[in-house]
Structure 1
Amino acid sequence: MSPVEHLITSGTFSLDGGTWEVDNNVWIVGDDREVLVIDPAHDAEAIAAQVGDRRVTAIVCTHAHDDHVNQAPALSERFGAPVLLNPDEAQLWKLTHPDRRPDGELAAGQTLTVAGIDLHVLPTPGHSPGSTCLHVPELGIVFTGDTLFQGGPGATGRSYSSFDTIIDSISRTLLALPGETTVHTGHGGSTTIAAEAPHLEEWIARGH
C-alpha cells in the first residue's frame, strides 16, 4: 500500500458573498494500521470509506476555507481524531464552524508523525493568514494546500489574503525545498518544486 492515498471530492467554496463549484484533493498519509487525513473536503462518507478500519491520528487542515474544513468536525467525531489548524485561521474557521473549535494547533517547527512518517509543519501565509504546508522529506513530498499549484500561487483576491505575502512564503519556504520534491496540491494536478521555481518572476510581474 502506498503511504500516500488521494481522493477527489466535489462541492462548493463560499466566501465574500460568492459560491463556486470546486473539486478538492483529499490526501491520506500512513499505512494499513493508522493514517492522517489532510483537508477533509465535502464528502465525509467517501473519506471514511477510504480510511476504512484504520486509526486516524489527526485531521490536518492546511487552511480554513470552507471547502477544506467542512467535513472536519464530522470526521473528528467519527474517528475520535483531533482537528489541527494554524490558529491564524481562526476567523475563517468560525465562518464555517462557529460553535466548534479545532482541537490543536499547527506551528512552525512542529512535526506530525503517522506510521513512522514525519510531516514537518511549514507556515506559508498569503492565500489565507495561517495557510500551512506539510513537508515529508523521506517521501520527497510537500502538501501545499492552496499555497502553490501546478502553474502558480494560490488565489489572493479575497478576504484575509495577500499576494505579496504568498509570494514571500513560496520563495522563502517552498522554493527552498529540493527541486525534485513532488508538490501535492489542494486542487488539480501535482507538480514539482523544480517545475514551478523558474516562474517566480513571472508570477510577481503578473500579480502586480
Structure 2
Amino acid sequence: PLWKQTHPDRSPDAELADGQVLSVAGVELTVLHTPGHAPGAVCLHVPALGALFSGDTLFAGGPGATGRSYSHFPTIVESIRERLLTLPGDTVVHTGHGETTTLGAEAPHLQEWIDRGF
C-alpha cells in the first residue's frame, strides 16, 4: 500500500474506518472515506461545528490532484458527489491547502470539473 511506500520503517499510529467517530477536545469528528486523491484518503466531518476538514479531496475551486499513479479522477468525483455534497451546503470546508470554502459554494461547479477532467 501507499503507506509502506512513503513510510517503510513505520506503522500508522492507528487505522481509521469509514463512519468511525473520533472525540477530540469533546467534539465528535466523523471519518468519511473519500478515495480519489489516494486510495485511503479521508475527510473529517464535524457536524457540531458545521465544518469539514477535506485534506486533499476538495479545495476551493475543485477536487484534489489525481495525476499520480495511485490517484483516480472519476473516484475523487464520486467521493465528492456522494460523500461530501450530501452534507449541508453551509458546511465550511477547511482544505488541506489554500482558502476555506463551503460545500454550497463548490456544489454548482461539479459538472465543470467533470467536463475539464481535473
Q: CA deviation at 1:96?
A: 2.5
- Counterpart of 2:79 in structure 1 is 169
Q: In structure 2, what residue type is equivalent to 1:129?
A: P
TM-score of the superposition, structure 2-length normalised? 0.96
- Counterpart of 1:191 in structure 2 is 101
Report the 3-state secondary structure (helix = DSSP H, G, I; strand = E; otherwise coil) of the residue aligned with 1:158.
coil
Q: Deviations over 1:177-199 (max 9, x none)?
A: 10000000111111000000000
- Counterpart of 1:146 in structure 2 is 56
Separation in structure 1 between the aligned mates of residue 67 and residue 7 of structure 2, nearest angstrom? 23
TM-score of the superposition, structure 1-length normalised? 0.55
Q: CA deviation at 1:95?
A: 2.4
Counting only pairs closer than 5 Å after superposition, residues 27-176 of structure 1 correspond to structure 2 as: 91-176=1-86
Q: CA deviation at 1:160?
A: 0.4
Q: CA deviation at 1:132?
A: 0.1
Report the 3-state secondary structure (helix = DSSP H, G, I; strand = E; otherwise coil) of the residue aligned with 2:32.
strand
Q: In structure 2, what residue type is equivalent to 1:108?
A: D
Q: CA deviation at 1:103?
A: 2.2
Higher relative contact order (CA 8 A, sep 6+): 2
Identity %: 69
Q: Which has the higher strand share?
A: 1
Separation in structure 1 between the aligned mates of residue 60 and residue 32 of structure 2, nearest angstrom? 19
Flag the structure with larger Rg: 1
Q: Deviations over 1:153-196 (max 9, x none)?
A: 00101110000000000000100010000000111111000000
Separation in structure 1 between the aligned mates of residue 63 and residue 104 of structure 2, nearest angstrom? 14
User: Which runs of 4 or more aligned residues in structure 1 lie more than 3 Å from their structure 2 counterparts after TM superposition?
Assistant: none
Separation in structure 2 between the aligned mates of residue 137 and residue 115 of structure 1, nearest angstrom? 14
Q: In structure 1, what residue type is equivalent to 2:82?
A: R
Q: Any gaps of 5 or more consecutive residues in structure 2?
A: none
Q: In structure 1, what residue type is equivalent to 2:49?
A: L
Report the 3-state secondary structure (helix = DSSP H, G, I; strand = E; otherwise coil) of the residue aligned with 2:106.
helix
Separation in structure 1 between the aligned mates of residue 106 and residue 64 of structure 2, nearest angstrom? 13
Separation in structure 2 between the aligned mates of residue 95 and residue 124 of structure 1, nearest angstrom? 20
- Counterpart of 1:200 in structure 2 is 110
Q: How many residues align?
A: 118
Instruction: Let me know the Cα RMSD of the aligned residues.
Output: 1.0
